[in-house]
């Protein structure tokens, strides 16, 4: 039934294939969005890592604005957590190139402005 009326779907509905290769239908603008996202993410994944040297741990400490606990066990746990956060930020920003990290507590240096913050 759909094959008979398929030519009337355009330009609103596009014929696409499922992973199994079967015919399916999708809204044309969503097909375009998927293609744009796939192209952008694929290009970033294939690109070279950003060459930047940030002290990610210092940025985490600065963003959290809290002192380390006095208790040795709690301090060790907090140190490990902050080190893990710094490593995650480095991977997200430098290695993967997929997105700018978004965390309201942390400020990231940016070379375009004297303060190191991007002016929006």
User: CA 103, CA 34: separation in Å to the nearest integer?
Assistant: 27
| Spatial separation of the C-alpha atoms in residues 33 and 36, rounded to whole Å | 5
Residue 56: its H or E element: helix 56-64
pLDDT (tens digit, 9 = 90+) per residue, 87-116? 888 877 765 555 544 444 444 444 444 444
Q: What is the pLDDT along the chain (120 residues), one digit of tens a residue?
A: 566 677 777 778 888 888 898 988 888 888 888 889 888 888 877 777 666 678 889 989 999 988 999 999 999 999 999 999 998 888 777 655 555 444 444 444 444 444 444 444
Q: What is the pLDDT of residue 44?
A: 74
103: CB partners within 8 A, 6+ apart: 63, 89
- The domain spans of the chain are 1-47, 50-120
Tell me the torsion sign for CA atoms 91, 96, 100, 104: negative
- Predicted local distance difference test score (pLDDT) of residue 73: 95
Q: How many residues can be counted in the chain? A: 120
């Amino acid at each position: 039934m759909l094959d008979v009326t398929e030519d009337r779907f355009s330009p609103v509905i596009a014929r696409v294939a499922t992973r199994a290769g079967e015919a399916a239908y999708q809204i044309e603008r969503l097909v375009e969005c998927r293609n744009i996202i796939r192209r952008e993410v694929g290009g970033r994944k294939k690109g070279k890592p950003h060459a930047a040297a940030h002290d990610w741990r210092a940025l985490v400490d600065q963003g959290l604005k809290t002192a380390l606990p006095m208790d040795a066990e709690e301090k060790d746990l907090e140190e490990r957590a902050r080190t893990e956060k710094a490593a995650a930020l480095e991977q997200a920003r430098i290695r993967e190139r997929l997105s700018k990290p978004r965390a309201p507590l942390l400020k990231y240096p940016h070379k375009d402005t004297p303060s190191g913050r991007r002016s929006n």
